[in-house]
Amino acid sequence: MTDQSLDDDCGQPMGDELLDPFEKLVQITILGRVVNVPEKNRLLRCFQYLSINTISYGDFCWNGECTNCQIWYRMEGQGEESDRPALSCRLECQEGMEITKLSRFIDLGKVLTA
């Protein structure tokens, strides 16, 4: 598990007012590192959950116009030829998703190096 902060009272992450309602965390892989993120949320919000400061203050429009949040991904079990681009502000996370490349604007801080 990453250095994600959980609120002891309700089990929901701190800053959950930024997130869409969720009941559980799902596993996704980002550049080879397995992390847990809230289900039913767009990837950019999941990135914010993982690294609140770097994503909150990043250069993102949050509505798909700037393309600064572009990622490349595939689903678990698919080969490299299946990689496809998407905007993380528009794409909902899914269990088993593998993110293979991040835009240079997406800084997840210590999440990928810890």
Predicted local confidence at residue 23, as pLDDT: 94
* Bridge partners for 85 per DSSP: 72
Number of domains in the chain: 1
For residue 46, tell me if it sits in a domain: yes
CA distance 99 to 83: 9
CATH code of the domain in which 51 resides: 3.10.20.30
Residue 52 banded pLDDT, cuts 50, 70, 90: very high
**Domain membership of residue 71 as a residue range:** 16-112
Predicted local confidence at residue 6, as pLDDT: 41
For residue 88, tell me if it sits in a domain: yes
**Whole-model pTM above 0.85?**
no
**Edge-to-edge strands of the sheet including 97-102?**
33-38, 25-30, 97-102, 70-75, 84-87
What's the token pair of residue 50? 């993982």
CA distances for 69 relative to 7, 10, 13, 28, 32, angstroms? 27, 30, 22, 17, 19
Q: What are the tens digits of pLDDT across the range 60-104?
A: 999 999 999 999 999 988 988 899 999 999 999 999 999 999 999
For residue 6, tell me if it sits in a domain: no
For residue 106, tell me if it sits in a domain: yes
Residue in 68, 23, 22, 24 with CA at minimum distance from that of residue 44: 68
For residue 10, tell me if it sits in a domain: no
Predicted local confidence at residue 113, as pLDDT: 80
Predicted local confidence at residue 65, as pLDDT: 95
For residue 84, tell me if it sits in a domain: yes
For residue 22, tell me if it sits in a domain: yes
For residue 2, tell me if it sits in a domain: no
What's the token pair of residue 54? 């770097």
